[in-house]
Amino acid sequence: MNNKKYIVVIIMCMILLQLAGCGNVESNVEERKTTDSTENTLRLNAEQLRMLEPSYTSATYRDMPKTMRFNGKVDILPEYITSVSHPLGGHVKAIRVVPGQIFRKGEVLAVLEDYKYVQLQEDFLMAKAQLKTAERNYRRQQDLNVNKASSDRVFENAEEEYNKLRIAIRSLEQKLILADLDPTSIAENNISRSTTITAPFNGMVSHINVQKGQYVNPSDILFELVNAQGLIIHIKVFEKDLPSIQNGQELTVYTNSHPDQPLKANIMTINHYIQEDGSADVYAKFQDSPSRLALGMYLNAIVTTYKHKTIVIPETSVVSYEDKSYVFERLPQNVFRLVPLEVVSTYEGYVEPGKSELLADMEIVDRGSYDLLMAMKNKGDTE
């Protein structure tokens, strides 16, 4: 009997200890809740509330677009990259551009010199002089032949010589044009030993493959030029998002250097070949030709696909602090609680929050959220 009493006493002691432990745990939890609540809340007196004059709103349902974000970079269509060489070659006398330089059509890129240019101009002038003589002889033989004062054979020889020289001059003119020499400006007292290489369009110098004093052959590439009209966007789209992408779809593009100046583009082609990393290549064309872009520059692109009805709050309700977003919930007795917020998307002044069901029954501060945030942080600094 005594043993039974002893066992009962031990069990009662164990129950009391467990209850005491639970009480401590509940006390700690309550204390932590109180601490967290104090750190994330702000109580205003009547005078402070009158000075701040916050306005209030609540979450509503609205059609919001479904957006997808992609990373990409500036690329260019192959036909807008031009390799520049010279059909006759020569020694590089001067280089007038540097890599990355913007140029205008007709601007001098380089100056070449060689005896071949002198020889070409000499052949052209000699042929023109011979043509004058051949033309006079042709006209004379033509008159004589009409009057039967000369044979047909002599007239035909004069006509053949005249036509040969005309063909030779036309051929030399085209060679001069290829060598960037103007046939109309070539004269006995205006023979040049040099020629210029000029830009065929407005664009940018991508690469320079020669240096001053170097001899270049007709097959050597001197410059690589880029025409900004051919700049495009190359983005990677993963397989799960590919069904939402289609040709003609509009993109909003942002650069790291100008994030506040969005650019517009339209999808031009989709490569449906899925690569090993699960992505496909998609290309888009800029609606305008922005001058601030460079080949290879990284971009962020946003694609809007379709709209869906969801809970939203006004964008003016959202405040940012240390790269995080928040809203203020109005509680009884002039207390305001700072609530973390995940921004899914923004559209026409409204924000789609993550876990939007948590905001469904909240009274949210609209105008005055930033003032409340400053007051809360100042309170923390003072403490």
Q: How is residue 57 written in tokens? A: 């709103």
Mean pLDDT for 332-360 is 85
- Is residue 286 domain-shared with residue 322, that is, in the same domain? no
The whole-number pLDDT of residue 9 equals 38
**What is the structure's pLDDT at 60?**
87
- Residues 276 and 335 both lie in one domain: no
Q: Are residues 233 and 293 in the same domain?
A: yes
Asked whether the predicted pLDDT for residue 18 surpasses 70, the reply is no
Residue 19: inside a domain? no
| Residue 35 pLDDT class (50, 70, 90 cuts) | very low
Average pLDDT, the chain: 83
Report the pLDDT value the prediction gives residue 296, as an integer from 0 to 100.
85
- Residue 33 inside a domain? The answer is no
Residue 89 placed within a domain: no
Nearest 10 degrees: Cα torsion 77, 79, 82, 87: 170
Shared-domain flag, residues 136 and 183: yes
Is residue 353 a part of any domain in this protein?
yes
d(CA 155, CA 157) in angstroms, rounded, equals: 5
In the chain, the number of structural domains is 3
- Name every residue whose Cβ is closer than 8 Å to that of residue 165 and which is 6 or more positions away in sequence: 127, 130, 131, 134
53 and 74: one domain?
A: no
Domain boundary among 307, 338, 368: 307
pLDDT surpassing 60 at residue 361? yes
DSSP characters for 115-128? HHHHHHHHHHHHHH
User: What per-residue confidence (pLDDT) applies to 381?
Assistant: 52
* Predicted confidence (pLDDT) per residue in 214-237, tens digit: 999 999 999 999 988 888 999 999
Mean pLDDT of 176-188: 88
Residues 238, 301 within the same domain: yes
Average pLDDT over residues 196-217: 93
Asked if 132 and 182 sit in the same domain, the reply is yes
- At which of 278, 307, 336 does a domain end? 307
Q: What is the CATH number of the domain that holds 336?
A: 2.40.420
Q: Output the CA–CA distances (angstroms, integers) from residue 143 to 10, 148, 149, 167, in the order listed.
A: 148, 9, 8, 23
Would you state the pLDDT for residue 48? 85
Within-domain flag for 5: no
Cα(195)–Cα(90) distance, integer angstroms = 9
- Let me know whether 54 and 73 are in one domain: no
Average pLDDT for residues 162-175, to the nearest whole number?
93
* Structure-model confidence comparison of residues 260 and 168, the more confident one: 168
**What is the mean pLDDT of the segment spanning 163-176?**
93
Amino acid at 44: L
Q: Report d(CA 21, CA 242) in Å as an integer.
A: 57
220 falls within a domain: no
Domain that holds residue 234: 67-78+228-307
| 332 and 301 belong to one structural domain | no
Better-predicted residue by pLDDT, 40 or 251: 251
Task: Please give the average per-residue pLDDT across 322-343, as a whole number.
Answer: 89
Task: Answer yes or no: do 287 and 267 share one domain.
Answer: yes
Whether residues 45 and 74 fall in one domain: no
User: Which of 273, 307, 341 lies at the terminal end of a domain, its last residue?
Assistant: 307
Residue 301, domain CATH:
2.40.30.170
Task: Identify whether the C-beta of residue 284 lies closer than 8 Å to the C-beta of residue 276.
Answer: no
Global pTM value: 0.56
Average pLDDT over residues 166-173: 93
Query: Residue 267: which H helix or E strand, with range?
Result: strand 263-270
Q: If pLDDT is split at 50, 70 and 90, which confidence band does 21 have?
A: very low
Instruction: Say if residue 299 is in the same domain as residue 235.
Output: yes
Q: What pLDDT is attached to residue 217?
A: 95
Residue 85 lies inside a defined structural domain of this protein: no
Could you tell me if residue 24 is inside a domain? no
Query: In the structure, what pLDDT confidence band is assigned to residue 373 with cuts at 50, 70 and 90?
Result: confident
Instruction: Order the strands of the 194-198 sheet from edge to edge.
Output: 194-198, 108-113, 90-95, 215-216
Q: Tens of pLDDT along 70-127? A: 889 999 999 999 999 999 999 999 999 999 898 999 999 999 999 999 999 999 999 9
| Site of tokens 């090993």 | 276
